[in-house]
Amino acid sequence: MDPKWMLDYIRVIDAFPVTDTQKILVRPYKREHFNIERNPWMEINFREWGENAYKRLTKDKFMELTDRFIENGRMGMVE
């Protein structure tokens, strides 16, 4: 897969909640915003800019990424 099409963040879960028509309920996951500081049980993998390999997102790395978002005026993306 071309790296420009690869996802930056991947959350691993056991099972999705679905509606009666088998549509995945994504709103609860969107509200959590990949925030492992508030939700330490989440298993999230991410890739650095320009890399092809994914790594486990740690609390320290999450804080580093949050600081970068704040520096660039994008705090709404991590709240």
Q: What is the mean pLDDT of residues 50-76?
A: 86
pLDDT beyond 90 at 69: no
Residue 51's pLDDT band, with cuts at 50, 70 and 90, is confident
pLDDT tens across 27-39, in order?
888 777 778 888 8
Q: 38 lies in which domain range?
A: 3-77
- Are the C-beta atoms of residues 75 and 67 closer than 8 Å to each other? no
- Are the C-beta atoms of residues 58 and 64 closer than 8 Å to each other? no
Sign of torsion, CA 14 19 22 25?
negative
Q: Return mean pLDDT, the chain.
A: 83
How many domains does the structure of the chain reveal? 1
